[in-house]
Amino acid sequence: MAIALAEHLLARGIPAEVISADSRQVYRGLDIGTAKATPEERSRVVHHGLDLVEPDRPYSVAEFRDHALGALRSLGPRGGVGIIAGGTGFWLRAVMAGIDTDALPSDVAVRAELEADLASEGVAELARRLRRLAPGLARGTDLQNPRRVVRALEIATLRGDAPLPAPVGYPAPVIGLQLVLEPVEHRRRIHARARAQFDAGLVEEARTLRERFDPSLPAFSAIGYRESWAHLDGRLTLEAAIELDALRNAQFARRQRTWFRSERSLAVLDAAADPLPDAVAALEQLLAVASA
């Protein structure tokens, strides 16, 4: 959809570029497993947010915000449009609605201790700790997401349960579009996508990455890699690895739906039919507002 919208604008002579808001597509080498745009697609439309760092280098929402805003600022003077696409809801919010990430503290030692606790105690125990320590912060955190729970506990440890800073968003017209599917059809597509990724060489990609990097790195929480390694190690058949991949993606999709239901500014489009005409109409409205 992002590429189709960009090509619609380019055909009209309007500069348009895609910005990936997928927190795992920033890592080099994680190509098939994160469903990055192909080289051919990138040759048609400029993409940002891809292949920014090696998998052993942490990458924060603050860094993404700076990267995305830099791309948007370069488009603004040219009368262009940036299309931010991806499923990491907090990253999207950081740009669209804004959050003053610079004001949120961090501490390497605290983070390392919490990561160790996560490995030994599990995310459920850390979520219980967060609810006790900072109930307000816990209410705004995805308590099933280990990375979010650890980050929230890090903030709570350093600054308590004080309200988050006032948001600082992108100072220009913005619209949000959400593609939705009926759950049964959504699961079918998720399963077909998982099988296609394995057919495209996901297992070999995972093998190559494990030879170069520590498999426990946060980058490899991207679904597909640990399933591939389990198959390589003989712990799962190929079919079982595909099924587990699809199951984990379906669970993740449910968490995404919960997150995006709270984003009231999103226009919902039915992806079962062709959603492109409605998306183009919304885009044309945005352009009319921006030029008024």
Q: What DSSP line would sit under 52-96, residue for residue? A: -B-TTS---HHHHHHHHHHHHHHHGGGT-EEEEE-S-HHHHHIII
Q: Where are the beta strands (DSSP E) in the chain?
A: 16-20, 47-48, 81-85, 176-180, 266-270
- CATH of region 105-159: 1.10.20.140
d(CA 109, CA 206): 30
Segment 32-36 mean pLDDT: 97
Please tell me the predicted confidence (pLDDT) of residue 169. Answer: 67
* Digit-coded pLDDT (tens) for 148-160: 899 899 989 988 8
16-20, 26-30, 118-122: segment of lowest average pLDDT: 118-122
Share of the chain above pLDDT 90, in %: 65
Residue with tokens 């890592």: 27
d(CA 181, CA 185): 6
Segment 238-260 mean pLDDT: 94
d(CA 60, CA 148): 11
Segment 182-201 mean pLDDT: 97
Whether residue 52 contacts residue 117, with contact meaning beta carbons closer than 8 Å, is answered with no
CATH classification for the domain delimited by 1-100+167-180+265-292, as one of 3.30.470.10, 3.40.718.10, 3.40.50.300, 3.90.226.10: 3.40.50.300
Amino acid identity for residue 236 in this structure: L
d(CA 63, CA 66): 5
- pTM for the full predicted model: 0.78
State yes or no: pLDDT of 125 exceeds 70: yes
* Digit-coded pLDDT (tens) for 88-109: 888 898 888 776 655 667 787 8
Radius of gyration of the chain (CA): 20
State yes or no: pLDDT of 170 exceeds 90: no
DSSP-based three-state secondary structure for 22: coil
d(CA 115, CA 122): 10
Mean pLDDT of the chain: 91
What CA–CA distances, in Å, run from 232 to 22, 32, 202, 227, 241? 26, 17, 11, 9, 10
d(CA 155, CA 105): 6
State yes or no: pLDDT of 291 exceeds 80: no
Please tell me the predicted confidence (pLDDT) of residue 246. Answer: 98
48 phi/psi in degrees, rounded to 5: -120, 160
State yes or no: pLDDT of 163 exceeds 80: no
Please tell me the predicted confidence (pLDDT) of residue 58. Answer: 87
By C-alpha distance, which of 225, 224, 203, 198 is closest to 214? 225
- For 23-62, the DSSP string reads TTTTBTT--TTTTPPPHHHHHHS-EESSS-B-TTS---HH
Q: pLDDT band at 214, cuts 50/70/90?
A: very high
d(CA 10, CA 180): 26
Amino acid identity for residue 69 in this structure: L
Segment 171-184 mean pLDDT: 89
Share of the chain above pLDDT 70, in %: 96
d(CA 241, CA 198): 9
Most confident of 34-38, 75-79, 132-136: 34-38
Q: Indicate the domain borders of the chain.
A: 1-100+167-180+265-292, 105-159, 182-261
25-34, 137-146, 168-177, 253-262: segment of lowest average pLDDT: 168-177
DSSP-based three-state secondary structure for 20: strand
| Record: fold of 182-261 | Helix Hairpins (1.10.287)
Q: pLDDT band at 181, cuts 50/70/90?
A: very high
Taking each helix axis from N to C terminus, what angle separates 238-261 and 183-199, rounded to the nearest 10 degrees? 130
Please tell me the predicted confidence (pLDDT) of residue 253. Answer: 92
Whether residue 235 contacts residue 244, with contact meaning beta carbons closer than 8 Å, is answered with no
Hey, do 105-159 and 182-261 end up sharing a CATH topology, with the first three levels equal? no
d(CA 12, CA 7): 9
Q: pLDDT band at 168, cuts 50/70/90?
A: low
